[in-house]
């Protein structure tokens, strides 16, 4: 298998990183199974790339449909080399504002949806004896922000699931990588990517200040990401975690330094809770 002879399975291919990476993979000569909730949103790919692309409608929150689509993708191209979970959205609202139905819906798409894709693809990858499972997480899988705390929590869960997965499937020759973008100028802020909880007046000023701060963020160019992504997937030993952008690492290091300092400050008290070993 050459580096430019791969078959990708990509969810959320209609916008953001999914759109950019789908087209970049096709441009370099790979084949792509591009999926989206609305088939018409990716139909242009058929006209542009012909037989190198298979476009399929997929709602990742429907496990039965996930199984059918993954099976159809494999039958069409005869193999699946890279399975990329990219579907997801953000719930905007404080911890108090969001209601249980909104939180469940977020987790259905951001956590259970990717799990359904992984579970459907694994029997195929195991039989092949190879494959690379990718997932678009976020730098917010390590740190968090107010107002989008539930989105952050979904990425923390995503990270834990993928890390466990990597340990479990290494024995089958399957690789796993968590992609962790920072702030990028994608369609992630569109109405399809954001859902808003009903606001409470008591948080109006706080949220206004938060959104003002977001406007000042330095945002990367998503069109600059494909070559970095390809360098990673073409590597013999791709990393479990892969930052995208120049600001992630310093922020994450500073947050972890604060956590370690706090744990150390309370270490004696923590140790006292051990009691006598049994």
Active-site residue 253, yes or no?
no
Of 155, 162, 175, 197, the catalytic one is 155
**Catalytic, out of 49, 150, 151, 184:** 151
Whether 150 is a known active-site residue: answer: no
Angle between helices 149-169 and 113-128 (to 10 degrees): 20
Q: Do 229 and 166 contact (CB within 8 A), yes or no? A: no
CA pseudo-torsion sign 167, 3, 249, 94: negative
Catalytic one of 137, 152, 153, 197 = 137
Could you list the beta-strand ranges (E) of 11-106.
31-36, 53-57, 82-85, 90-92
Cα–Cα distance for residue pair 155/69, rounded to 1 Å = 24
- The answer to whether 137 is a known catalytic residue is yes
> Do β-strands 90-92 and 82-85 pair in parallel, antiparallel, or remain unpaired?
unpaired
Q: Are 32 and 55 in contact (CB under 8 A)?
A: no
Residue 253 burial by CB count (10 A; 0-12/13-18/19+): exposed, middle or buried? exposed
Q: Which residue has the tokens 């290494």?
A: 170
Written as six digits, the tokens of 62 are: 């429907």
Read out DSSP for 131-161? EEEEEE--GGGTS--SS-HHHHHHHHHHHHH
Active-site residue set: 137, 151, 155
């Amino acid at each position: 298998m050459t580096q430019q002879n791969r078959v990708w399975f990509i969810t959320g291919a209609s916008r953001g990183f999914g759109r950019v990476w789908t087209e970049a993979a096709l441009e370099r000569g790979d084949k792509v199974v591009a999926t989206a909730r609305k088939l018409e949103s990716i139909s242009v790919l058929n006209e542009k790339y012909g037989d190198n692309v298979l476009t399929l409608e997929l709602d990742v929150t429907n496990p039965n449909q996930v199984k059918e689509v993954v099976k159809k993708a494999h039958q069409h191209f005869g193999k699946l080399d890279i399975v990329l979970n990219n579907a997801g959205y953000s719930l905007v609202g404080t911890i108090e504002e969001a209601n249980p139905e909104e939180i469940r819906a977020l987790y259905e798409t951001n956590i259970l949806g990717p799990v359904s894709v992984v579970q459907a693809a694994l029997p195929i990858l195991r039989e092949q004896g190879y494959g690379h499972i990718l997932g678009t997480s976020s730098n917010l899988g390590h740190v968090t922000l107010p107002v989008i705390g539930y989105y952050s929590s979904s990425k923390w869960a995503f990270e834990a699931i993928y890390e466990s997965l990597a340990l479990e499937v290494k024995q089958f020759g399957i690789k796993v990588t968590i992609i962790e973008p920072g702030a990028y100028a994608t369609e992630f802020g569109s109405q399809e990517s954001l859902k808003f909880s009903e606001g409470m007046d008591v948080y109006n000023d706080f949220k206004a200040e938060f959104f003002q701060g977001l406007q000042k963020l330095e945002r990367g160019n998503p069109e600059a990401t494909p070559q970095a992504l390809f360098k990673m997937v073409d590597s013999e030993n791709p990393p479990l975690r892969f930052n995208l952008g120049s600001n992630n690492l310093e922020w994450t290091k500073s947050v972890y330094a604060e956590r370690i300092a706090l744990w150390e400050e309370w270490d004696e008290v923590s140790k006292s809770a051990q009691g006598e070993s049994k």
